[in-house]
Structure 1
Amino acid sequence: MTIADLRILSATDLAGLEISLADVIATVEDAYLTLQAGRSDNPRKLTVKPPDGHSVSYAMLGRDGSRDVVAIKTSYKHGLDKGRDEQRYYTTLTLYDDTTGLPMAMMDCSRIGSLRTPAVSALLARECAVPGARTALVIGTGTQGRLALPFLLTVLPDLDRTMVYGTHPEGITAIQDHLGAHFPGRDAEIVTDLRQAAASADIIVAAAGGHTPAAVEAAWLKPGALSILVGHGLAPSTLHEADRIIATSEAQMNVTGTDMADASGVLPAVDAEFPAVIAGAAVGRGSAQERVFAYNSGLVVTDIALGHRFAQLALAQGLGRGIPLWR
C-alpha cells in the first residue's frame, strides 16, 4: 500500500500565489454548475456552539465531481462576545484525490474564504441585480467587505457609483487600497447616512461583523433593489418583505440565518437556490421592480474548487512541506 505524506500549505505559502479575480469567479461558477448537474455532493454543515455563544464551530464535508476531489473544511471562531480585535478565527481545508485515493494537501482556508465569498456575491449580483444596475453599496470593511467591490466591478463593469459604509478607518483604507489595486483610478464613496445610501443603491452587499450598528430596513429600499446578505447589516424586514428570495442553500440558511427569523422564529421559504439560478434552471429575478433578497452562505464545494486551484498552483511552485502523518 502506498502512503503519501500530507502536504501542509500555510497562510504564508498561499499568500504569495497570484490568481486573477476572473479566475476565482470562473472556478466558483464551475463548482455551482457541477453541483447543479448532480455530479458533486454538498451536505449541510454541522454546527456546535456553547450555551453562552462565545464561540462557534463548523464542519463541512463535500465532493467535487468535476475535479474528483473529496474534502473537509473546519472553521472555529472564538470571542464572539468580544470586539473584533480580540476574536480568534481558524479555518482549514483538507483535500483528497478521489482518483488515486491519496491525500493532496491540508491548507489554511482563510484566503480561500476571503476570495470565494465576494466572488459568490458578484455572481449573485450578475444573475439577480436589476438590468442596467449602476450603483452598489457595501456595508462592512472587514475581510469579506474588502474585495466586494473589485469582484462586483469584474462582473458588472458598468457600475459607476460604488459606496461603502463602515466604522473602522483601517478597514475603509483597505477597501480603497484593494479597489485601486484592481481598478486603478476608481475610488469608493464613503457614506455616513446609511438610509440615504441604501435608498439609492441597486445592489447592497451586507458583509459587516456581528457588532455593526447597520441594519438596512426593507422600507428604505427602492424598487428593483438586490440585497445580498453575507454577514450582517440588513434588518430581517429585507428578507421577509422581499418579492423574491434566493439562497445559495436553503438548508444552510436555516442553520446560519436564524438571526433573520421573524418574531415567531420562522424564516420564509426561498424561491430558488442559486446553483439552479446560475445554471438557468430557475429564475433569479422576475421583473425590474422586484426587490430581491439573496442569502450568501458558503458551500463547501466552492471552497473545494478554489482550494484545489490553490493547491495546484502551490504544488507547481514546490510550496509547503510534507508531513508523514500516517507513517
Structure 2
Amino acid sequence: MGDTSTTRAHPAAAERGLRVLSTSDLAGIDISLADVVGTVEGAYRALAAGESDNPRKLTVTPADGHSVAYAMLGRDGNREVVAVKTSYKHGLHHGRAEQRYYTTLTLYDDATGLPVAMMDCGRIGALRTPAVTALLARECARPGAASALVIGTGTQGRLTLPFLLTTRPDLERLMLFGTHPDGVHAVREELGRYFPRREVEVVTDLRAAAREADVVVATAGGHTPAAVQADWLKPGALSILVGHGLAPSTLHQADRVVATSEAQMNVTGTDMADETGRLPIVDAEFPAVITGSAPGRGSEHERVFAYNSGLVVTDIALGHRFAQLALDQGLGEQVSLWQ
C-alpha cells in the first residue's frame, strides 16, 4: 500500500553537514494517506521479521508532574537507518493552549555512516499515530464493522477518521464526541479534505454512542470528561486507546488485549492500571498481528482492547520517507554542525 521505497535519502549530501528540516519544510510536502499507512506497515513488518530494533523508551518527569520527556532510539533494518527521537511536553497541569511541546527526529544512514537529516517530528507523529490506529482497526475490528466513534478533537482526533476510512472504507457511520467547537469544526474540515462525500455525526450522549460503535478510538487530552466504561461496549467492539477517553475497565474486562508494545504500555499506560497498580498481560503485540503470526481477535463477539503507543521504528520509517521527499524538492537548510 502506498510508496514504501527504501532508497536512502541522498546521504552524500550529508558529507557537507546536516540537513535540518523545519516545521514549515515538512508542512509543504504532499503525501497520501495510503503512502503513510504503507510506510508504517512496512516498519511493523520489518520489526516482526527481526530486521529492526525498537528498545524501550526512556522517560523522565518531575515529582509534581508539570512536564514529561521521552527519548527513543531505534534502527530500521529495512531502510538501514538509525535514529533518535526526543519528545518534551511542558505545562501538563494547564490547558492545551498553554502547553509547550517539542519533538525532534535525527536520522543516520547506517550503510554509509553519514547523517541524513534532523527534523521537527510533529507532523511525523501526527500522521504515524492515526495510521497505526487505522491498521489496528483493519486487523482487529470485527468482520462487517460499520460504525466508528472518535473521542477527542485534537491533532489525533482530526486525522483519525480519514485514516480509518483508508483501511476500512466499509465504515458507514462516523461519530464524534468532542467538547471544543473549534476542534469539532477542524475534524469536519479534515474529513472533508480527504473524503468530501462523507459526514461525521457529532454526539453528546457518549454512553449511547459507545453502545452503537463497532470501533471506539479515544484520542482526547488528559482533561477530558469522557470515560467510556467496559459495560458500555457492545459484543465485538474494538476500543483503541491513543490518548484519553477510555476507563480502565475497558482494558481489564476486555476479552483480548493487543498492544503495539507491551513494554511501552507498561511505561506509558499506568493511568489504566487497576486499584492494585496492575496492568493485564497483553495477548498479542501488533507486529505479530500484522504479519499474521498472532490473531487480532479470536471471534467476532470478543471485545478487543488495543493500546496504541508510538514505536520509534515507525517514526524512523516515516521520517525517512519525508526526508526523501524533502531532499528531492531541495527543502531544508544545510548546517555545518560538526565542522
TM band (smaller chain): over 0.9
Task: Within 5 Å, give how 1:115-126 maps onto structure 2.
Answer: 115-126=127-138
CA distance in 2, matches of 1:11, 1:214: 31
CA distance in 2, matches of 1:171, 1:116: 20
What residue identity is the alignment partner of 1:271? D
Shift in Å at residue 185 of structure 1? 1.7
> Larger deviation: 3-12 or 159-168?
3-12
Q: Which residue in 2 is equivalent to 1:242? A: 254
Within the alignment, does 1:278 sit opposite 2:290 as a pair? yes
Within the alignment, does 1:35 sit opposite 2:47 as a pair? yes
CA distance in 2, matches of 1:107, 1:204: 32
CA distance in 2, matches of 1:185, 1:268: 41
Task: Within 5 Å, give how 1:225-236 maps onto structure 2.
Answer: 225-236=237-248
Shift in Å at residue 4 of structure 1? 3.5
- Deviation track 1:206-264 (CA, whole Å, cap 9, x = no partner) reads 00000000000000000000000000000000000000000000000000000000000
CA distance in 2, matches of 1:209, 1:114: 14
1:183 corresponds, among 190, 195, 202, to 195
CA distance in 2, matches of 1:159, 1:143: 21
2:158 corresponds, among 146, 149, 169, to 146
Task: Within 5 Å, give how 1:130-279 maps onto structure 2.
Answer: 130-279=142-291
Q: Which residue in 2 is equivalent to 1:82? A: 94
CA distance in 2, matches of 1:210, 1:311: 32
CA distance in 2, matches of 1:165, 1:4: 50
Q: Could you say what secondary structure the match of 1:8 adopts? A: strand
CA distance in 1, matches of 2:15, 2:228: 53
CA distance in 1, matches of 2:261, 2:306: 10
- Deviation track 1:105-134 (CA, whole Å, cap 9, x = no partner) reads 000000000000000000000000000100
Q: Identity over the aligned pairs, expressed in percent? A: 76
Q: Could you say what secondary structure the match of 1:293 adopts? A: strand
Q: Could you say what secondary structure the match of 2:156 adopts? A: coil
CA distance in 1, matches of 2:76, 2:97: 35
CA distance in 1, matches of 2:170, 2:334: 46
CA distance in 1, matches of 2:192, 2:198: 6
- Deviation track 1:287-309 (CA, whole Å, cap 9, x = no partner) reads 01000000000000000000000
Shift in Å at residue 187 of structure 1? 1.1
Q: Could you say what secondary structure the match of 1:187 adopts? A: coil
C-alpha RMSD of the superposition: 0.7
What residue identity is the alignment partner of 1:6? L
Decide whether the 8 Å contact of 1:118 with 1:147 is kept in 2: yes
Q: Could you say what secondary structure the match of 1:147 adopts? A: helix
CA distance in 2, matches of 1:196, 1:25: 31
CA distance in 2, matches of 1:266, 1:223: 25
What residue identity is the alignment partner of 2:99? Q
Counting matched residue pairs gives 326
Shift in Å at residue 86 of structure 1? 0.3
Q: 4+ residue stretches of structure 1 with deviation over 4 A?
A: none
CA distance in 2, matches of 1:143, 1:79: 18
Unaligned 5+ segments in structure 1 are none
- Deviation track 1:147-185 (CA, whole Å, cap 9, x = no partner) reads 100000011111110000001111100100000010012
CA distance in 2, matches of 1:185, 1:280: 33
Q: Which residue in 2 is equivalent to 1:58? A: 70
Q: Which residue in 2 is equivalent to 1:6? A: 18
Decide whether the 8 Å contact of 1:3 with 1:326 is kept in 2: no
Q: Could you say what secondary structure the match of 1:148 adopts? A: helix
Within the alignment, does 1:21 sit opposite 2:33 as a pair? yes
What residue identity is the alignment partner of 2:121? C
Q: Could you say what secondary structure the match of 1:144 adopts? A: helix
Shift in Å at residue 3 of structure 1? 4.6
TM-score (norm 1): 0.99
